[in-house]
A and B are shown apart, each in its own frame.
Chain A
Amino acid sequence: MALWIGSLEQGLLFGIMAIGVYLTFRVLSFPDLTVDGSFALGGAVAASLVVAGVSGWAAAAVAALAGAGAGLITGLLHTKGKINGLLSGILTMIALYSVNLRVMGRANVSLLNEKTIKTELEAWAQAAGVDRHVVFGVMFFLLLFAVKLAVDWFLRTDLGTAVRATGDNPAMIRSFGVDTDGTILLGLILSNALVGLSGGLIAQYQGYADVQMGIGMIIVGLASVIIGEVLIGAQTIFRATLAAAAGAVAYRFVIAAALRLNVDPNDLKLLTALIVVVALVVPPILEKRRLQRRLDAEDADAVFGDDRRQAAADRAGAGAGPKAEGRVRPAEKGGEGG
């Protein structure tokens, strides 16, 4: 049970990161690998500040600012430095590894016996006489939902719509007077601010920050976004951000289930990568099949009348590849000629 409760609580905090990844990956169509670095940066900054005596909430806020800075750098490399987007993110991520070590002064900062958000909430729970997991659950949920609603609101403003249009059709939105460099920068800053915030919260929740804590985070984020889309859909902004948040929780449950089934923890990253591959590859194939079946049915309807089912089945069996078509076409032509 503790495993599932822990997964839920972690998932809610990781949900903030997933919404950040949604902003770049889906809204801007920009696969931003900064995430691995900015998540650990958030953790490093928050942990160092907490150790220095800063309150946990203030430390998390500064972690968000640090993440925003990381996003700004990736954005500048891409828009002003004209470096490929993927590479811009990788460069920032690699650079941040050193920065994070500098921030912490070593590879790992423990928050044991420090005053963090977690200990604060625990004190609260004790004073009120409630189970601490109830307080964690409610607080983290409210926090995640507030972030989600704020992002929803932003995406519906003039500026947010310009950001969405930038990911959708940059040439078009430039022709209406929007500087797409600016909207890309803004999207990256906001996204990485959320990622940094998430890192700062996770570090306090788990009680330490580690220079390795961001490794593979972008894939976790992608997995969350994609799992959420499968579960909830992304037809509206409200659903899309909800999907990213819920996907993060679902992802934690998948990992918990894997651990429960005695999957070697060392294999978890492999498992995560497989989930993302399957979630990216399978839905388009299913969609294509469905479309093909419908087209075949319509074709058969028009041409073969009562034999339509048989015909549709035959065609589906032949596979709709270009080769198959090539074989069919000349025969049809010959028939017409005769």
Chain B
Amino acid sequence: MTGGLWLERVSKTFHPGTSNARRALKDVTLSIAPGEFVILIGSNGAGKSTLMNAIAGRIPVDRGRIVLDGVDITRWPEHRRAALIGRVFQDPMMGTAPSLSIAENMALAYRRGRRRVLRSFIGAKERALYREALATLELGLEARLETKVGTLSGGERQALSLLMATFVEPKLLLLDEHTAALDPKRAELVLRLTEKIVREKRLTTLMITHNMAHALRMGDRLLMMHAGEIVLDLSAEEKAQMEIDDLLRAFERVRGETFVDDRLVFSQLEGKDHAP
């Protein structure tokens, strides 16, 4: 197995051994090919963000293996994985440092995964590089290198976050509902930039969204999670056949099944309680 992302029976339980124990990931096995653009959907609490955090190393997994670009990163700390993984968060405030300038933020991104040394910062050549990259956003940020990022709008900050996350090409790009906090117009802009950057750089990408239209329109593959498992895996061709209604029906069907499951569990529990 070379390149891409490979998850093998990854499990995670929150608050194990307590009455609040919750199995957030149940033996998730998943393979994403290099350059594949995968969309991940699922209701709240389905385990989407947990999966992403497990891949990024924000939370340790209980069992299983995570292999990225042929390297087993299961035991790597978050900051070490960051050398390989680019991330854009839901909150536009999360992806940039507000009291630093646009140039300084770009410089931080440019040094992704490299040792930070006592070298003075940002020469003219680097500046030119940043201006060129910022120009691709078509937001005029290239003329505002010294502006503090905290003064930018949410849409501008999120576009900048996306650019920073992909500036040094990551082996994997994780997008965690990165347009959910934006108004529709800005969301559309950031999605267009996402499509452009991911395609141009052929980035292996995993994107969470709650928007069914986006889920059908974008990406090469669609995954649906429910209760810590991947319950639906559609190829680009299968996806093309589907309408939003079909997707919603699939959602309801999944929920219905677990509802039955829950009832079964409850009746078993009751049976046990009454047994002695």
Q: What residues of chain A have their CB less than 8 Å away from a CB belonging to chain B? A: 153-154, 156-162, 164-165, 168-169, 171-180
| Chain A positions within 8 Å of B9 at CB level | none
Residue ID in chain A nearest B78 by CB atoms? A174
Are B111 and A157 in contact, CB atoms less than 8 angstroms apart?
A: no
Taken together as a complex, chains A and B put the C-alpha atoms of A88 and B96 apart, in Å, by: 28
Report, as a range, how many residues of chain B touch the other chain: 35 or more
Q: 17 additional contacts, CB 8 Å, given A158-B118, A174-B78, A174-B79?
A: A153-B120, A156-B121, A157-B117, A157-B119, A159-B118, A160-B118, A161-B107, A164-B97, A165-B100, A171-B89, A174-B82, A175-B56, A176-B164, A177-B80, A177-B82, A177-B112, A179-B77
Are B108 and A157 in contact, CB atoms less than 8 angstroms apart?
A: no
Taken together as a complex, chains A and B put the C-alpha atoms of A154 and B117 apart, in Å, by: 10
Residue ID in chain B nearest A169 by CB atoms? B97
Contact flag A159-B117 (CB < 8 Å), given A169-B97, A177-B82: yes
Contact flag A169-B82 (CB < 8 Å), given A157-B121, A158-B117, A162-B108: no
Are A168 and B98 in contact, CB atoms less than 8 angstroms apart?
A: yes
Q: Chain B binding site: helix, strand, loop or mixed by DSSP?
A: loop
Query: How near does chain B come to A217, taking the closest CB pair, in angstroms?
Result: 26
Q: What residues of chain B have their CB less than 8 Å away from a CB belonging to chain A? A: 56, 77-80, 82-83, 85-87, 89, 93-100, 104, 107-109, 111-114, 116-121, 164-165
Q: Which of B77, B80, B98 makes the CB contact (< 8 A) with A169? A: B98
Query: How near does chain A come to B175, taking the closest CB pair, in angstroms?
Result: 12
| Chain B positions within 8 Å of A160 at CB level | 118
Are B87 and A175 in contact, CB atoms less than 8 angstroms apart?
A: yes
Are A176 and B120 in contact, CB atoms less than 8 angstroms apart?
A: no
Are A161 and B83 in contact, CB atoms less than 8 angstroms apart?
A: no
Taken together as a complex, chains A and B put the C-alpha atoms of A175 and B85 apart, in Å, by: 8
Contact flag A179-B107 (CB < 8 Å), given A159-B117, A159-B118, A172-B95: no
Taken together as a complex, chains A and B put the C-alpha atoms of A171 and B91 apart, in Å, by: 12
| Chain A positions within 8 Å of B77 at CB level | 179
| Chain B positions within 8 Å of A177 at CB level | 79-80, 82-83, 111-114
Query: How near does chain A come to B118, taking the closest CB pair, in angstroms?
Result: 5
Taken together as a complex, chains A and B put the C-alpha atoms of A156 and B117 apart, in Å, by: 11
Taken together as a complex, chains A and B put the C-alpha atoms of A176 and B111 apart, in Å, by: 8
Contact flag A157-B120 (CB < 8 Å), given A174-B79, A177-B112: yes
Residue ID in chain B nearest A164 by CB atoms? B100
| Chain B positions within 8 Å of A174 at CB level | 78-79, 82
Are B78 and A158 in contact, CB atoms less than 8 angstroms apart?
A: no
Query: How near does chain B come to A177, taking the closest CB pair, in angstroms?
Result: 4
| Chain B positions within 8 Å of A180 at CB level | 79
Residue ID in chain A nearest B167 by CB atoms? A176
Q: Which of B89, B94, B99, B108 makes the CB contact (< 8 A) with A176? A: B108
Taken together as a complex, chains A and B put the C-alpha atoms of A178 and B100 apart, in Å, by: 16
Residue ID in chain B nearest A235 by CB atoms? B148
Are A158 and B97 in contact, CB atoms less than 8 angstroms apart?
A: no
Contact flag A168-B120 (CB < 8 Å), given A177-B82, A179-B79: no
| Chain B positions within 8 Å of A171 at CB level | 89, 94
Query: How near does chain B come to A234, taking the closest CB pair, in angstroms?
Result: 10
| Chain B positions within 8 Å of A162 at CB level | 108, 116
Query: How near does chain A come to B231, taking the closest CB pair, in angstroms?
Result: 29
Listed A/B pairs (8) with beta-carbon separation below 8 Å: A154-B118, A158-B107, A158-B116, A165-B104, A171-B89, A171-B94, A172-B95, A175-B78
| Chain A positions within 8 Å of B121 at CB level | 156-158, 161
Taken together as a complex, chains A and B put the C-alpha atoms of A6 and B71 apart, in Å, by: 63
| Chain B positions within 8 Å of A168 at CB level | 97-100
| Chain B positions within 8 Å of A175 at CB level | 56, 78, 82, 85-87, 95, 165
| Chain B positions within 8 Å of A176 at CB level | 82, 108-109, 111-113, 164
Taken together as a complex, chains A and B put the C-alpha atoms of A98 and B85 apart, in Å, by: 47
Taken together as a complex, chains A and B put the C-alpha atoms of A156 and B121 apart, in Å, by: 6
Taken together as a complex, chains A and B put the C-alpha atoms of A174 and B77 apart, in Å, by: 10
Are A161 and B118 in contact, CB atoms less than 8 angstroms apart?
A: no
| Chain A positions within 8 Å of B83 at CB level | 177
